[in-house]
Amino acid sequence: MNGLSAGALCRLLLLGSGTLVLVLLQLVTRRVLPARAGTLPLRFHRLACFCLGVRRRVRGTPPPPGMGALIVANHVSWLDICVLGAERELSFVAKSEVAGWPVIGFLANLQHTVYIDRQRRGATAGVAAAMGARIAAGEDVVLFAEGTTGDGTRILPFRSSLLGAAHQAIGNSEADVIVYPLTITYTGRRGLPGGRADRAALAWYGDTELAPHLKYVLACGAVDVELVWGAPIAMGRATSRKEAARRAEAMVRAARSEAVTGRPAT
């Protein structure tokens, strides 16, 4: 990419070569040791964060490993995938178009992504069932509840339809499924707090193209992001998906406000 420093080009080269090695290993692992297939995506995302200069700060208590949780988060950028994927083994819910994207679709398939066709009526029920089966099997599934990426300056309303996956996971059991709200906030660059314009520049939304945005992230040198785990929401037969979505959205809004202003939300 023209205009990048020598250091940024080296980091991009390291990311490309590292990705190739990890992809080859993942293809073998999925055939030989499928139970270990979640380890290499974790390594890939940590490599990506290192090469892109993404520095993570985490607050709150995440789900216990192996319990199976529906993680409900806001969505700002393609960077969110690397940021969350670097924290723990998990899978994502994505729109079906992602599967056909060059390179990205291939990597998404290797991470066992759940796809939803938003143009097909009735698709939500099938996706919810697939998500529920994974949660019941002890896997963590990330749902970007806004349904799209925001502009980095505000939280969009959470959609409740796919939270029905939690009810699918319950089946005939009386046990609750735990929904974990998670807030993603890009707080600044190189250790310095960013303003509204900085947060908007790091967001990937609308008609923003990937290559120029990747170039911008590399040029930043270091990007600071804060992840905040909210209080878990026990969603069972007595808790509707709409109520769970409302509570999760409220927690995410409060955590984002605190991350941006430095003051607890009132």
Q: 34-52, pLDDT tens digit by residue?
A: 878 788 899 999 999 999 9
**Lowest pLDDT segment from 64-78, 142-156, 170-184, 187-201:** 170-184
Taking alpha carbons only, the member of 237, 236, 265, 241 closest to residue 253 is: 265
Tell me if 266 is assigned to some domain. Answer: no
Cβ–Cβ under 8 Å, residues 176 and 234: yes
**Does a structural domain hold residue 195?**
yes
pLDDT at 211: 87
Q: Is residue 80 part of a domain?
A: yes
Write down the pLDDT at residue 2: 63
pLDDT at position 73 is 96
Facing residues of 188 across strands? 193, 224
72 domain residue, yes or no: yes
pLDDT for 128 equals: 78
What is the percentage of the chain residues whose pLDDT exceeds 90?
Answer: 41
Q: How far apart are CA 14 and CA 25, in angstroms?
A: 17
Rounded Cα distance, 64 and 140, in Å: 10
Domain tally, the chain: 1
Which range has highest mean pLDDT (93-97, 131-135, 187-191, 252-256)?
Answer: 252-256
Statement: residue 265 has pLDDT above 70: no
76 in any annotated domain? yes
pLDDT, position 170: 62
Per residue in 213-247, pLDDT (tens digit) is 888 898 888 999 999 999 999 887 777 888 999 99
Rounded to the nearest 5°, which phi and psi values hold at 58? Answer: -120, 135
Q: Does pLDDT of 264 surpass 80?
A: no
pLDDT for the residue 24: 92
pLDDT category at 191 given cuts 50, 70, 90 is: confident
By residue range, what is the domain housing residue 173? 56-213+221-261
Q: In this predicted model, which residue has the larger pLDDT, 239 or 260?
A: 260
Contacts of 28 (CB under 8 A, 6+ apart): none
Given this model, what pLDDT does residue 173 score?
59
pLDDT of residue 169: 63
Q: What is the mean pLDDT of the chain?
A: 86
For residues 251 and 120, what is the distance between their CA atoms, to the nearest angstrom? Answer: 31
Q: Which two tokens stand for residue 187?
A: 């707080």
